[in-house]
Amino acid sequence: MSTVLYGFFCVFLILTALVASEIEDILSSVISLSINGVLLAILFVILQAPDVALTQAVINSGLVTSLFLVAYSQTEKQDLRRGDDKK
C-alpha cells in the first residue's frame, strides 16, 4: 500500500516537473511548480521527515510561489516566452 502511494506521488511529481519546465506559459509553469512543492511535502511526510515537509510546504508552496508571481507580473511578458527564442 505504502509503495503504491509512494510510486503514485513520484509519477505525479515527475509530471508536474515536466510541465513546469516545458510549458510555454510562465503562469502555468509557476502554478505547476507550486503543485510540485505540495506533492514533495506529502512525500516527505510519507518518508517520515515532518520537519522538512513543513519547510517545503510553507516555503515552496507559499513564499516562492508568491515571489514568482510578483516577479512575473512586473516583467515584460513577451521576452520571457520560450517560443520566441526558437524563431
CA separation (Å) from 34 to 2, 71, 85? 24, 15, 25
Q: Spell out the residues 6+ positions from residue 26 whose beta carbon is closer than 8 angstroms to its own.
A: 72, 77, 80, 81
CB-based contact 44:53 (threshold 8 Å)? yes
- Min dist. Cβ of residue 53 to other proteins (A): 8
Minimum CB separation of residue 63 from other proteins in Å reads: 6
Nearest distance from residue 81's CB to other proteins, in Å?
19
Q: Is there binding between residue 79 and other proteins (CB under 8 A)?
A: no
If one asks whether residue 55 binds other proteins (CB under 8 A), the answer comes out as yes
Choose the stretch contacting other proteins; rule: CB under 8 A; options: 22-30, 32-40, 57-65, 77-85: 57-65
